[in-house]
Structures are given as structure tokens and as C-alpha cells.
Amino acid sequence: MTTILGCIADDFTGATDLAGLLARSGVRVSLRIGVPTTPPTDTAAFEVIALKSRTASVTEAVAETRAALRWLQAAGAKRFFWKYCSTFDSTAKGNIGPVAEALMTDLGTDQTIYCPAFPENGRAVFMGNLFVGQQPLSESPMKDHPLTPMQDSNLMRLLAPQVTRPVGLADRLTVATGAQALRGKLASLGAEGVAHVVVDAVADKDLQIIATACRDMPLITGGSAIAMPLPALYLADGTLSKDAAKRATPAIGTGTIVLSGSCSAMTNAQVAHYIATGAAAFQLDPLAIADHGIAAPLDWLAAQDLDRAPLIYATAHPARVKAAQNKIGVARTGEMIEQALAACAIAARDHGARRVIVAGGETSGAVTKALGVAQLDIGAEIAPGVPWTFCQSGGHQIALTLKSGNFGTESFFSDAQMRLGAE
């Protein structure tokens, strides 16, 4: 089907987050990992391309995003969404501004909006300043981020050095007045030559107004939340046909494997909780793998009843992680564990697992790569920002959920299984 909205996300978990919010509407959402190398086929009304461009060089990020745009245009899309983090993660050089400007040039449009607000997750924009909970961005933990430290909360000041054309603001006073007032403000800013408009939003109601006013702009940019109202608006105004494909749950075998490579506090709690439910579990030990390889976990896996959803985990508390890293090196330990879990994913699939639950952002990347997954259809949400997805791997239809470290509650691994069972 013709794509109505073509979305490009600057990282993988951001893409799943956006895809999950769009799929809340019940319509089919398809996610592609990287720019597809073949022309569009079997496209959905909402297509999301996941890039890895957040911390890439500006040149690389712009080139990759333009390639994604061309693919989405070939899929029929006329409206586009550029998704970045709700904490506006970028360096002074970019990549948010340069990418948006390149997309505007390619689309021949003179104006776009910037709205990273995500009220449900505590991200608000007021008078152009971004807040994380009750703190301004530059006083939040984001000020110390290792790759993209955010030391200013003012989005206009952050954006101005990244773009060549004027930056302006449509503030909450305008947004609160309604969609028509916002359209008027955008038009008057446009008449003054303002190409980049930061738009305030502090509550879901604001997002609804912004989406209503901006739904036909060639390019919208923001966090994932501003896209959430779009499917319903496109259905209501007939842009999206009522007969458009719905989100569907295919028949999936029952064999299940849980693979956990995140060492976050929440994942540690999730692993402990799952083991306490009586699940069979095997702990990967980096030192043992360095000495003896992965024969032991693979032998253990081969003996498991996959209908009882066994767990293989490297998840450990900080002291244990440090000890392994001191001995083997940080990068090598990480890589080794990721490869071990990726090998377990393949072995589990070949042993009959059709439901794969993965914890850890990097771990998810390694597992999807090993399983040869390039396209995912989005299913039901298990926790905010973490949907089930459906894809092909090794000639099998499988269900896959990819959870980044701190997402979900303690019972996530059981919740995921129940959620799929309920579909």
C-alpha cells in the first residue's frame, strides 16, 4: 500500500519507540533496519527507517538520511517525519539541524517544526526550553552524557548554530489557543523568513493541536510523541483509507527464548524476578567464555523445553561487570557477550524458538543482525516504547521484542509472554 507517512529515526530503539506509538492507532506500521537495499515492496501506510546516525559525522548522517528519504519517496510518501531523541541529543555541529535542513532542501519546503516533547515520559518544551521532569535539560543527568552532553536547555540556541536559516518559536500561549492560531503563527514566521520553528508542548493536548495544525507539512521533526496523533488524524480526514491494513498478529509457534545482555538496574531486577518465577536460567560468565567458548550454554540450551521460556543472561551487577572488564577489557567483554547471545539466538531459533525476548540496546542490534532481520511489523505494546514485532528469520515467522536497558517493569519477561498470548 502507498506510504502515507515516511519516518526516519536516528537510532534503533528510537525507531521502535516511534513505531510502537504509531501502531497504538491499530494501523500497520513497518520498521526497516537501515536503508533497504532493494526497492519498496509490501509497504505499510506508516514506514519507519531506523538509522544509526545520532553520533555519526554530519556528512554521513545527512547522506544516510537522504538515502532513506529517497526510499520512502519511492514508497509513495509525501509527508515525512524526522525522529530524534526527546532530549534533543546532538553536538554543536549536529546532527539534528543539518539533517533537517537537507531534508527540507530535498523536499523543496521552506519551513519545518521541532517538537521533542513527550509528556508521558516527562519531556516538556516551554518557551523554547526543554525540561526533563521538573529539571531544565541542562540541569538533568543529560548534562553529563558521554557522547552528547546537553549543557543548554534552550532549543533555539541549540539549533541556531546547526542551521543556516533563521530559527523561531511558536510558544505555548499560541499552541494553547488552538490549531488555527498555530497555523497563523507558522505563516507569519514564514513571512519573516523563519525556516526552523521550535514549538512548545507541555501536555498531550498540545501535541494533538500541533499534529492537527502541522499534519500536512512536508516535514515534521521531533521526538516520537508528536507523531502519535497523526494516524487518527489521517484516518479522520480520509488521507488514510478506513480499509488500510490493520496491525495484525500472525500465527507464531510457542517456543520461547529470553536473552538478556543489559546490565542496567532495571534489567538486573527483571532477571531476578523472572528466575524467582521458576524459569530455567543459564548465566553467561565472560571469564568462562574467554577460556572455554560457548559450548556450555549451547549444550544447556539444546536440553531445554522451549515451551517453558528459558533464560540465558549475562546481566550482572556493576562489581561483577567491572571485574570481567578489568580482566578482559571493556570493548572485548561487551563484544564477546553480544556475540555469545547472538549465537544463542540462532541456536534457539534452529531448536524451535519462535518468540524471542531480548534485553539490551546493543544486544538487540547484535541479535537482529545475527537473525538476519531487515524488516519488522509492529505488534502490541508490552511496556511504553517496547512493542512486540514480527519478522522473518531463517525461513520462519518469528516474534521479537527488543527492550533497551531501563525500559519495562520488573515483570517484563513474563509480561511480554502474556501480552503475545492475549493477542
Applying the rule CB under 6 A, the residues between 270 and 289 that interact with ligand ADP are: 286
DSSP 306: G
Q: Any contact of residue 334 with ligand ADP (CB under 6 A)?
A: yes
CA-to-CA distance for 356 and 254, rounded, in angstroms? 10
Check if the beta carbon of residue 300 is closer than 8 Å to that of residue 313. Answer: no
- Contact window for ligand ADP (CB under 6 A) among 107-115, 147-155, 261-269, 272-280: 261-269
Cβ-based nearer residue to ligand ADP, 320 or 396: 320
Check if the beta carbon of residue 227 is closer than 8 Å to that of residue 22. Answer: yes
Q: Any contact of residue 333 with ligand ADP (CB under 6 A)?
A: yes
2, 208, 249, 264: residue in contact with ligand ADP (rule CB under 6 A)? 264
Q: Please give the angle made by the CA atoms of 303, 304 and 309, to the nearest 5 degrees.
A: 165
Burial of 136 (0-12, 13-18, 19+ CB in 10 A): middle
Using CB under 6 A, count the residues that bind ligand ADP: 22
CB atoms inside a 10 Å sphere around CB 309: 23
Helix (H, G, I), strand (E, B), or coil: what is residue 214? helix
Cα dihedral 12/398/6/117 (nearest 10): -50
Q: Any contact of residue 316 with ligand ADP (CB under 6 A)?
A: yes
Cβ-based nearer residue to ligand ADP, 304 or 363: 363
213, 321, 345, 348: residue in contact with ligand ADP (rule CB under 6 A)? 321
6, 361, 379, 387: residue in contact with ligand ADP (rule CB under 6 A)? 361
Min separation Cβ 323 and ligand ADP, Å: 8
Cβ-based nearer residue to ligand ADP, 250 or 318: 318
CA-to-CA distance for 30 and 245, rounded, in angstroms? 11
Q: Any contact of residue 360 with ligand ADP (CB under 6 A)?
A: yes
Applying the rule CB under 6 A, the residues between 144 and 173 that interact with ligand ADP are: none
Q: Which residues bind ligand ADP (CB under 6 A)?
A: 261-264, 267, 286, 314, 316, 320-321, 324-325, 333-334, 337-338, 360-363, 404-405
